[in-house]
């Protein structure tokens, strides 16, 4: 690839793309920084809406029914690994193709696949609704069937968001996330207040997914470009290997970010488990914020193709942003732990302040590793996703073996995440001359 081809061609929409005069480092930095800012601001609002959803549902439903709502939300999060995989693969190949026709061809192909997989997932949920409901201690298995309706559309939502992400239309992408969270909250309040209880909650989950699918629209190119898409012969199609890599990555991600809460609930009393869940809720704010930066980086890196690590600005900008976020988050959690826990959760959670900074370190380690893993995945099929899956299993085993108190549960995660970060950093460290002194010599 020549130096002229190394610049990234991006659409001038949503106020994201920069002026044509900017190329190379300036243009990449501008796209990543502006995209990160938009997605970060959007994620703040989405997080606030989701927090309101949990608080209001807990107040309206009471502890018993809210536990069922939380179980359904957790099931949705576990199934999200498929939708997120479609989003990542679609974003990568929409960004990698240069012409609008080729981009829309990728989108159409993946959209058809998403409908098929979504239908299969929905049918499997319907077939297994009774054992799933029994495992989750649901009084009625048909709530799983209502969730299955949303699952039929969930993968399609992932493709549509990946399409927006691949075009670097971060404004539209952020608005879609906000609309889903806002519609979920509004529909849930309406249905629960009308007396539908847990049915209102699960109905809001499925309805918000369908609404978000409809909101994204159908086109990201001009009509004549869409019509010519079928005739494109130089399209770079999404591969089966890319899909497997994405699924492996998101399965590992879901386990790493959720399994500790599940195991703590199993091993500890309800009061301690609730305390840990509150600490984890705060700590995960850093993860969600970091993921928005990664979302902005991914299409830019994918469009640059498989270049040498010397193209450091593609990785360097988001890595610096996430590093600063991690430092600031850890600093605030260390200086004001009691204030944070008291303001967010009340006096009953004040004792969790001693765990907050340690959990922030654990989340920061994973956030940095996530930047490196997704950068590699944006450029080629990498093995770092499998490495993450291996470490997610190691975390499960470690917590099973070491759980004398809540602090030990977090510490085993910290040490394992240190190991994972070091391993995923090796390819990048080897590209730095200081770490190749023998070869230089």
**pLDDT in the model for residue 190:** 94
From CA 159, how far away is CA 83, in angstroms rounded? Answer: 8
Which two three-digit tokens encode residue 232? 């494109």
The pTM (predicted TM-score) of the whole model is 0.63
**pLDDT in the model for residue 339:** 83
Q: What is the DSSP string of 362-411?
A: HHHHHHHHHHHHHHHHHHS--SHHHHHHHHHHHHHHHHHH--SSHHHHHH
Q: 314, 270, 360: which is closest to 95 by C-alpha?
A: 314
From CA 110, how far away is CA 113, in angstroms rounded? Answer: 5
- Cβ atoms of 173 and 165 within 8 Å: the answer is yes
- Cβ atoms of 373 and 384 within 8 Å: the answer is yes
**pLDDT in the model for residue 278:** 73
Q: Which residues of the chain have pLDDT under 50?
A: 1-25, 221-232, 308-310, 434-435, 437-441
How many angstroms separate the most distant Cα atoms in the chain?
75
Question: For the segment 7-22, what is each residue's pLDDT rounded down to a tens digit?
Answer: 333 444 444 333 344 4
Residue 47 makes CB contacts below 8 A (sequence gap 6+) with 285, 288
DSSP tally for the chain: helices H, then strands E: 15, 0
From CA 15, how far away is CA 37, in angstroms rounded? Answer: 12
Find where tokens 């019509």 sit: 227
H-state helical runs in 97-138 = 100-127, 129-135
- Output DSSP code: residue 351: G
């Amino acid at each position: 690839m020549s130096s002229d081809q190394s610049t990234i061609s991006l659409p001038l929409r949503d106020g994201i793309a920069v002026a044509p005069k900017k190329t190379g480092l300036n243009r990449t930095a501008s796209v990543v920084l502006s995209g990160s800012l938009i997605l970060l601001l959007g994620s703040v609002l989405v997080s606030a809406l989701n927090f309101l959803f949990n608080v209001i549902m807990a107040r309206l439903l009471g502890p018993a029914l809210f536990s069922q709502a939380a179980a359904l939300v957790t099931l949705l999060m576990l199934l999200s690994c498929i939708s997120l995989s479609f989003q990542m693969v679609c974003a990568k190949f929409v960004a990698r193709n240069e012409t609008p026709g080729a981009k829309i061809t990728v989108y159409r192909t993946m959209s058809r696949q998403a409908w098929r997989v979504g239908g299969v997932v929905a049918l499997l949920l319907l077939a297994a609704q009774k054992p799933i409901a029994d495992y989750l201690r649901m009084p009625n298995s048909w709530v799983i069937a209502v969730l299955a309706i949303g699952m039929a559309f969930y993968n399609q939502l992932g493709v549509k968001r990946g399409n927006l992400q691949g075009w670097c239309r971060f404004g539209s992408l952020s608005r879609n996330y906000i609309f889903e969270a806002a519609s979920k909250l509004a529909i849930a309040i309406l249905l629960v207040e009308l007396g539908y209880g847990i049915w209102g909650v699960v109905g809001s989950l499925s309805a918000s997914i369908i609404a978000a699918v409809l909101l994204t629209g159908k086109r990201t190119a001009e009509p004549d470009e869409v019509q010519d898409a079928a005739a494109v012969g130089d399209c770079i199609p999404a591969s089966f290997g890319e899909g497997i890599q994405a699924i492996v990555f998101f399965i590992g991600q879901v386990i790493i970010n959720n399994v500790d809460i599940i195991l703590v609930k199993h091993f500890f009393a309800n009061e301690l488990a609730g305390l840990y869940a509150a600490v984890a809720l705060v700590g995960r704010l850093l993860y969600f914020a970091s993921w928005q930066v990664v979302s902005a980086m991914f299409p830019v890196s994918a469009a640059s193709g498989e270049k040498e690590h010397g193209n450091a600005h593609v990785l360097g900008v988001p890595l610096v942003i996430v590093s600063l976020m991690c430092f600031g988050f850890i600093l605030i959690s260390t200086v004001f732990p009691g204030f944070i826990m008291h303001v967010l959760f009340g006096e009953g959670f004040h004792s969790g302040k001693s765990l907050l900074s340690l959990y922030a370190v654990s989340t920061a380690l994973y956030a940095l590793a996530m930047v490196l893993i997704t950068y590699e995945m944006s450029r080629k099929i990498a093995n770092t996703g499998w490495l993450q899956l291996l470490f997610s299993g190691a975390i499960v085993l470690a917590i099973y073996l070491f759980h004398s108190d809540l602090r030990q549960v977090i510490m085993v995660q910290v040490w394992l995440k240190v190991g994972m970060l070091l391993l995923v950093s090796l390819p990048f460290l080897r590209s730095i001359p200081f770490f190749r002194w023998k070869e230089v010599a």
